[in-house]
Amino acid sequence: MDDKTRIELEAAAFRRLVAHLRERTEVQNIDLMNLAGFCRNCLSKWYRAAAGERGLALSDGEARQIVYGMPYEEWKAKHQKEATADQQKAFAKAPHDHG
């Protein structure tokens, strides 16, 4: 496989992941962090870092909007729930990749 094709496939997989996360609003970021060690916010930070490595300035808010499909504050108001005590306890124990 040539590099161009590999990059196109990786980009398609990224777009599908973002679309999946946008559709699955019931899955809270804390659940993702506890199970996988990353969340939507981490993904947006990785996106912003990749842009920065290529000399493109992108704010946290702009990167989050790319991942969430809307401004972060709007997503939080519509979909984010208060973390339960069990979720918070698991979060405190789990390793996290904050980018």
pLDDT digits (tens, 9 = 90+) for 36-69: 999 999 999 999 999 999 999 999 999 999 999 9
pTM comes to 0.86
User: Is there a contact between 34 and 44 (Cβ–Cβ < 8 Å)?
Assistant: no
Superfamily of the domain at 3-93: SMc04008-like (1.10.3340.10)
Q: What span, in angstroms and rounded, lies between the C-alpha atoms of 96 and 94?
A: 6
Band (pLDDT 50/70/90 cuts) for residue 97 is low
Band (pLDDT 50/70/90 cuts) for residue 94 is confident
Which residue type occupies 50?
A
